[in-house]
């Protein structure tokens, strides 16, 4: 046994007032990329209100803004869109991996491992220059959607698809994931999908972004940092929330069952996914934006079931818990209307958030300082060491 000595180690951290569980409210760095504002403006991407971007810009413009620091001109946007199409090619090693991966593997595991493999085939992954990281970021924006869609299509026996140069990023995503392309309904879906991509693209030091920045701070390659981010996003308390919301809607099934289902869940103290936010205590402004799009799309699709279920749940949660929906809640309604497979919801999040992750990795490595926080020690005080032959 070990004897306890009643003295504190010299290095013990005594100031518990400085400790914040989950790092809530802790300022961990500086960034020019995103301001999370609970006021009228909501989120700002490099100074631009998120509502303006979601209503008037395309996701390509937003990705360009995050990576280059300004909204593109017509020519810059055209060149950027062309690069995204031209670089939507998967290296042979990645294609072999997609063909050999177990059919039951979660798509997030596939995209995480696939991004890591992209780092293996990079011609010079140790080049951490700003220009090299921007080029890698554009390649990832182009390759990740194709990787996700190709893996899904191989598993389900569907023919493989390639992005089309005459389609927007969102239109190509919808085409790759669902085969929808030509009709007016598909175009309406793509507009809503585009808005959701913009809303998901960046959100300051969230769990996955912070994971990417911590990894990037070691001056490793961008692929390693993005792989860390994907691993963090897979968790149901972060990116996996939209899947959980959709599963809840499907389980409820009809508007008539919604109120009883939610009240029973609350009575049994089950968590209702899609509500509350660690930072946005007064409500998520992104939710109101996507809700407007979803209401319109429900009418276009002639299917208001999912939207009415959502409205019922929102009403009860506000009444009973004082909680408001976050972005994942109504986005799940949109993706159900688009008939995107549930297992692809979080990978779809990756297709958007990779723009923010890469912008953060670039920012971190352009002005780097290794992240090395401290822990508040809560173990025993200093103990006297007892040799093995004297222990009982």
Containing 77, the helix (H) or strand (E) segment is helix 74-86
In the block, residue with structure tokens 């927007």: 168
Closest-CA residue to 280 (of 30, 39, 52): 39
Q: Give catalytic status of residue 284 as yes or no.
A: no
Query: Looking at 277, 284, 293, 360, which residue is catalytic?
Result: 277
Q: Phi and psi dihedrals of 43, rounded to 5?
A: -75, 145
Residue 59 belongs to what H/E stretch? Answer: helix 59-68
C-alpha–C-alpha distance, residues 25 and 34, integer Å = 16
- DSSP bridge pairs for 48: 45
Which residues have C-beta within 8 Å of that of residue 8, sequence separation ≥ 6? 14, 381, 382
Closest-CA residue to 208 (of 50, 24, 349):
349
Strand order in the sheet with 34-36: 34-36, 43-45, 48-49
The conformation of residue 275, written as its DSSP 8-state character, comes to B
Helix, strand, or coil here: 34?
strand
Out of 203, 221, 328, 360, which one is annotated catalytic? 328
Contacts of residue 199, defined as CB under 8 A and 6 or more positions apart, other chains included, come to 50, 54, 286, 289, 290, 327, 331
341-367: b or e for each residue (b if 16 or more CB lie within 10 Å)? eeebbbbbbbbbbbbbbbbbbbbbbee
277 counts as catalytic: yes
Rounded-to-integer distance, Cα 232 and Cα 230, Å: 5
Active site amino acids: 277, 328
């Amino acid at each position: 046994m070990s004897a306890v000595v009643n003295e504190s180690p010299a290095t013990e951290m005594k100031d518990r007032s400085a400790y914040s569980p989950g790092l809530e409210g802790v300022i961990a760095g500086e960034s020019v990329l995103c301001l999370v504002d609970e006021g009228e403006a909501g989120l700002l991407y490099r100074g631009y209100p998120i509502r303006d971007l979601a209503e008037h810009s395309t996701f390509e413009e937003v990705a360009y803004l995050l990576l280059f620091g300004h909204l593109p001109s017509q020519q810059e946007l055209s060149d950027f869109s062309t690069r995204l199409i031209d670089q939507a090619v998967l290296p042979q090693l990645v294609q072999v991996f997609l063909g050999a991966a177990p059919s039951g593997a979660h798509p997030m595991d596939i995209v995480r491992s696939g991004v890591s493999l992209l780092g293996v085939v990079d011609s010079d992954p140790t080049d951490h220059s700003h220009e090299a990281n921007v080029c890698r970021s554009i390649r990832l924006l182009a390759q990740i959607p194709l990787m996700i869609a190709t893996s899904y299509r191989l598993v389900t026996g569907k023919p493989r698809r390639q992005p089309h140069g005459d389609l927007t990023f969102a239109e190509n995503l919808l085409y790759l994931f669902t085969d929808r392309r030509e009709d007016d309904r598909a175009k309406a879906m793509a507009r809503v999908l585009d808005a959701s991509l913009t809303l998901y693209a960046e959100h300051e030091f969230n769990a996955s972004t912070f994971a990417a920045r911590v990894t990037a701070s070691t001056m490793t390659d961008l692929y390693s940092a993005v792989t860390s981010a994907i691993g963090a996003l897979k968790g149901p308390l972060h990116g996996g929330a939209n899947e959980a919301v959709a599963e809840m809607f499907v389980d409820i099934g009809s508007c008539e069952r919604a109120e009883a289902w939610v009240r029973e869940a609350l009575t049994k103290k089950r968590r209702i996914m899609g509500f509350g936010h660690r930072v946005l205590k007064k409500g998520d402004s992104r939710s109101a934006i996507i809700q407007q799009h979803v209401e319109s799309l429900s009418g276009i699709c002639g299917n208001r079931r999912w939207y009415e279920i959502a409205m019922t749940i929102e009403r009860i949660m506000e009444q009973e818990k004082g909680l408001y929906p976050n972005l994942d809640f109504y986005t799940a309604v949109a993706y159900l209307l688009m008939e995107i497979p549930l297992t692809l919801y979080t990978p779809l999040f990756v297709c958007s958030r990779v723009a923010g992750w890469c912008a953060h990795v670039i920012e971190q490595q352009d002005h780097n300082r290794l992240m090395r926080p401290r822990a508040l020690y809560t173990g025993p005080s200093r103990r006297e060491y007892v040799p093995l032959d004297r222990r009982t």
